[in-house]
Structure 1
């Protein structure tokens, strides 16, 4: 879900403050971010306020969005992103939302330990200082799930678990990367995960993302409505097929 839920929404940054449209789930997200910051995590944005249909947060300074791709081409970048995600997951476990909290994304039900998942873990939603990931923002898809839920989503983009053409033209690699080596580096740096079928976990997470995108589109939410109208579901299905047909490139 590259570019996040804000892809067609007005977002501005001025004097170190980002202003962006708020949604019904924004108060819950702000509560979660405040919880993480009380645990000493400065790698998530500091919420300022929700004023009507606008939210304000303190910007984490660094490269992000379209400026991010080169920072994670190196193994150091991949490992840094994985360590950042692990640190956030570990700190998230104790958060208990208020009973009236509203979330955009549904929980991913699984056995075992559950954490609070970001739901859109890609290089563009991280802040970078060189090859070091120092922040993770755009928490609209906050939800409960197993660690592998976020990890599998991240592997799609950090592998990347995508075609050679996308790796070169979309992710801007100078040559097609060794996807399996990058995935191993991410998993080693994250640490402590049980063995799992990497390709199938990525494919299932992609299907979950597609289902949520379709649900949001049918509810009239942008940018998902526009994405679906422009054929994102068909493109997503083709990418899921690529992952399953090329599992050897991801786990070799």
Structure 2
């Protein structure tokens, strides 16, 4: 079967498409991640179907057809509410997942808790928006918290471009969080959590550059360091605006055109 290298990822080497499948290296965490994805699918979450191991020892999973959310027109407010609701379904389904007793996870950024297993990279570059809207690349799944995972997703989908006017980004953030159905406690905690989660991403890149850990060391030099430095300043500087926006319901204007996306793929 012919194989086609899949590009665009940063943390996984030798990922290929073979027919209707994706093949990637099998790691010590693969069995635990597979169990998690299978548990979510059983609970009604659409995720790429795990398909075992091939004769070369690689993990095999379903290839989901369609572009990523990074490669299409910027998501509308209605789209952002849809994605927020997808994240909520994943979290709610994860509550019922019991990890294997011998579970092994690969985590680059430590989470502040372990309330439930999370994807840990719910972002536009991992969302397919074809006939199906599906999050892919579950390899970083590991125990975390609802707030920590939501903080990363909300920042990635709505606050990742530091050139966006803050009032525009705040409206997009509100649409996303309204789609999630966050309660008042979660809304109140989110601005500070987004700052902390963005800082953690930047710290991973900086420390990896210092210590020579790949792929983050190279990512730091290739533009990701500069991107996440700008993102942190943006998220932190306007924290009060995010808090004010989240304290009120989303605008009923679900058709407003969002701003152009930054060319930087974080």
Into which bin does the TM-score normalised by the smaller protein fall? 0.7 to 0.9
Q: Where does residue 112 of structure 2 map in the other structure?
A: 109
Matched residues in 2 for 1:217 and 1:140: separation?
22
Q: Where does residue 50 of structure 2 map in the other structure?
A: 47
Say if 1:199 and 1:40 are closer, same or farther in 2 by CA, change over 3 A: closer
Q: Identify the match of residue 22 of structure 1 among 1, 26, 39.
A: 26
What secondary structure is seen at the aligned counterpart in 2 of 1:196?
Answer: helix
**Do residues 210 (structure 1) and 210 (structure 2) align?**
no
Q: Where does residue 137 of structure 1 map in the other structure?
A: 136
Matched residues in 1 for 2:158 and 2:70: separation?
18
Say if 1:65 and 1:146 are closer, same or farther in 2 by CA, change over 3 A: same
TM-score, length-scaled by structure 1: 0.79
Equivalent pairs counted in the alignment come to: 233
Matched residues in 2 for 1:219 and 1:212: separation?
10
Matched residues in 1 for 2:38 and 2:75: separation?
31
Shift of 1:213: 4.7
Question: Any gaps of 5 or more consecutive residues in structure 2?
Answer: 1-7, 246-266
Q: Where does residue 78 of structure 2 map in the other structure?
A: 76
Q: Where does residue 65 of structure 2 map in the other structure?
A: 61
Which entry has the higher C-alpha Rg, 1 or 2? 2
CA contact (8 A) 1:117 1:150 kept: yes
Matched residues in 2 for 1:17 and 1:223: separation?
24
TM-score, length-scaled by structure 2: 0.75
Matched residues in 2 for 1:90 and 1:143: separation?
15
- How does 1:149-164 map onto structure 2 within 5 Å? 149-164=148-163
Shift of 1:90: 0.8
CA contact (8 A) 1:79 1:190 kept: yes
Question: Any gaps of 5 or more consecutive residues in structure 1?
Answer: 168-174
Q: Where does residue 258 of structure 2 map in the other structure?
A: none
CA contact (8 A) 1:162 1:243 kept: no
Say if 1:63 and 1:86 are closer, same or farther in 2 by CA, change over 3 A: same
CA contact (8 A) 1:18 1:56 kept: yes
